[in-house]
Every structure is written in structure tokens, then in C-alpha cells.
Amino acid sequence: MQLTSHPPTSSVSILLDALPNPKVVDGVCPRRARQQLDFLLLAIEALELGGSEAFLDDIKELGLQEIVKNRVVLWRIRATNSLRRNNQRRPLTLQEAKALSIIICHRAKRLTVLIRQLLMVYDQLLEKQLSPDHHLRLSNYLERFRAHFRSRMNPKRAGVIAYSSNEKLDDLALTLLSQLLFCTGTAGTQRLWSSLFDGDVE
């Protein structure tokens, strides 16, 4: 089933075709997948200053401009996350979701050393029964993630209210960090793609 009126180039097709099309209703992504992709992008933005600009560079490098043409289109795609303040009431196509997955894994691989370091530090702090505030870089990541989340998500949505405390948001940020590490391994993009639809397809 064709999901875009502008067929991607052959090089892009190779990237997209490596990810199978799950059997989802009307060929669009379920809500949980939309949220997960946006949250992972949010975590990357909290990891590195200028993360949003890096996404645009990655889009050009990966040749995904046919799907994500510019900054505005990227925002509209991410705003299909129903928890956002300015939610776009439009579906997220499988092609768009594939593009986001490829971007996430591409950027995560470049941040592998930092991601591993932060997770290792967190484990060490847990063993010593110390809070993340005892490590500057980890503390900065968590603080930026909380700020990004609260500025972009709708506080009236039940899914956002569930993360009303700093502790809950820190737990989410650390979970996303582990998921980003999962994306850096062998066949990371395929594994991320499959995980997005667990329980949502036959």
C-alpha cells in the first residue's frame, strides 16, 4: 500500500524496506508508537544541546527529505503524539514512523559512549544509594528532559498527569536512555521498529 504521494528514492527505499510493514489498522501507527517515537526524540534532545538541529542534519545525511522535508514537517510528524500541547489531529503513516525510527537509531549510535556512561553512572549511584544529583552530566540530562517534557506536553492529559512528579519523569528519562542504548546495537533499527508495535498487531 502506497503511503506517500512522493515515492522515495531507491537509496531511501533500502532503508525503509528493511523495516517490515506491520498489520495495523488503515496503515497508520497506533498511539503508543507515536508517543514512544516522540519521547525518544525528546530524550536525544535532552542528551545533547542542539539535538533538534542534529535531526535536520541527519535527515539530509540519510536522504529522508522526501518524507521529512523540513523543520515544520518534522514538528507536525512529532505532534501526532496525542500528549503534546499542540497535537496534530492527523495520522502518523508507517513511512513517517520508519523515518523517525531511522533518525533515532542513527543519532543514538553517535551518542553511544555518552549513553553507556550515563547508565553506568546511574547504576553506580544506585549501589551507593546516592541520587542522580551527585553526577553533573546525569543531573543535567534529567533536568533538561523534565523541562522539555513539561514545556511540550499537555498537562491536562491523563498520560501526562501520570508524570507530574520529578521522580516519575526521571524514571521515564532513564527508561528512554536504556531504550536508546538498545537502538545502538546490531540491527538496532529493526529491533526498535518491532518494539513499537508489541501488542498492537496480530
User: What are 96-137's pLDDT values in tens digits?
Assistant: 999 999 999 999 999 999 999 999 999 999 999 999 999 999
Whether the pLDDT of residue 9 is over 60: the answer is no
Length of the chain equals 202
DSSP conformational letter for 66: T
How far apart (Å, rounded) are the C-alpha atoms in residues 75 and 3? 19
